[in-house]
Amino acid sequence: MKKRVYLDYSATTPMKQEVLDEMLPYFTEKFGNPSSIHSFGREAKQAIDLSREQLAKSIGAKADEIFFTGGGSEADNWAIKGIAYANRDKGNHIITTKIEHHAVLHTCEYLEKNGFEVTYLEVDAHGRINIDDLKSAIKDQTILITIMFANNEIGTIQPIKEIGQIAKEKKVIFHVDAVQAFGNIKINVNDLNIDLMSLSAHKVYGPKGIGALYIRKGVKIHSLIHGGAQERRRRAGTENLPGIVGFGKAAALADENLEAHIQHVKVLRDKLIKGIMEKVGYVRLNGHPEHRLPGNANFAFEFIEGESLLLSLDMLGIAGSSGSACTSGSLDPSHVLMALGLSHEIAHGSLRLTIGDFTTEEDIDYVLQELPKVVDRLRQMSPLYEKVKGGQK
């Protein structure tokens, strides 16, 4: 069997056995509809209540501030559209950044076509916003600031506490897309002054197709999905019972193992970054050197196409990514890398390797053994590289 190394944990994670074990009974014997008043329904409702408590505890919230959704993208859509339409009488201005996930950017673009004004903040060469730019962007009509906790491609962590403080002082609602940060960074929504926060289970060793939106008590928001009275009349549709149970267990495990998880992935990530920077020339590390997710490494290799690099690594059993899994069908260079000021050519040569709980030191050694050879072989086909190598301008 060919060796297989999975280094795409930012795209999705394998479900942990404990999570699956917790979920299984809710597909078969504990299958009740949580809205039913009989014992089968009550049993299902109790399971959802427990999951809500587990999720709330992991982010320092109250259980009645957690609302389950179909995933992170739905949570982003609900937060942004729901706040925009509920607060239209106060203003129509939203502030975000140029490097958000498309679930945020495309929602903001939709609102721009429907009478809202959006300011897209620039980021520095490491992908962080300038706090003074944020302060300058706020005006009387500003109703929402929506900024991701950590970037899905380059791993850069934003100064969330400072942003939350400014939003609180200016009385502007603050939404955070924490899909990548949750389970990788200690998060307390009260310490950080976060009003709404999007989460997703499949990034923390839970099931796909289930997410959540934290909504601070007292925040005025419209519903995105109308129908029945589920999720305290805020999000209609029969609950995904096994998914919710799995998310609760995954959140509890992530909270319990957070320090050990951070330590494990950070050591391997640092070894990977050090090894690649030493063994390969004409490469740069994308993202912030310090303020970054513990398991994220993103590189830009000059004189090669990221797509060729990915396919070559895949043939060796190494799974990586050239950016967000949600845009893999696009041939355009990453909007995140372009926002850092990279040229089209260099942005096209990007590789994201993300580490998780099941990554081993042997996996990293294998990548450090094979990746430099792949890069070298691909560069031999580049006329530009041959010129540079030959000292020509």
326 a catalytic residue: yes
Q: What's residue 190's pLDDT?
A: 98
Per-residue pLDDT of the chain (393 residues), as tens digits, is 689 999 999 999 999 999 999 999 999 999 999 999 999 999 999 999 999 999 999 999 999 999 999 999 999 999 999 999 999 999 999 999 999 999 999 999 999 999 999 999 999 999 999 999 999 999 999 999 999 999 999 999 999 999 999 999 999 999 999 999 999 999 999 999 999 999 999 999 999 999 999 999 999 999 999 999 999 899 999 999 999 999 999 999 999 999 999 999 999 999 999 999 999 999 999 999 999 999 999 999 999 989 999 999 999 999 999 865 554 555 678 999 999 999 988 998 999 999 999 999 999 999 999 999 999 999 998 888 777 776 654
Same fold, 5-12+258-390 and 17-254: no
Q: Any known ligand binding at 238?
A: yes
Q: Give dist(CA 327, CA 337) in Å, integer.
A: 13
Q: Any known ligand binding at 73?
A: yes
Q: What's residue 328's pLDDT?
A: 53
Q: What's residue 195's pLDDT?
A: 98
Domain ranges of the chain: 5-12+258-390, 17-254
List all residues 6 or more positions away from 218 whose beta carbon is below 8 Å from its beta carbon: none
Q: Any known ligand binding at 180?
A: yes
Q: Any known ligand binding at 326?
A: yes
Q: Any known ligand binding at 96?
A: no
Q: Any known ligand binding at 72?
A: yes
Q: Any known ligand binding at 39?
A: no
CB 232: neighbour CB atoms within 10 A? 8
The torsion defined by the Cα of 337, 342, 344 and 347, in degrees rounded to 10, comes to -50
Look at residue 30 and give its three-state secondary structure. coil
Which CATH class for the 17-254 domain?
A: alpha beta
Topology of domain 5-12+258-390, CATH: Aspartate Aminotransferase, domain 1 (3.90.1150)
Q: What's residue 332's pLDDT?
A: 77
Which residues face 198 on adjacent strands? Answer: 177, 213
Inter-residue contact 279 to 273 (CB < 8 Å): no
Indicate which residue of 20, 185, 236, 326 is catalytic.
Answer: 326
Task: Tell me the pTM.
Answer: 0.95
Q: Give dist(CA 287, CA 284) in Å, integer.
A: 10
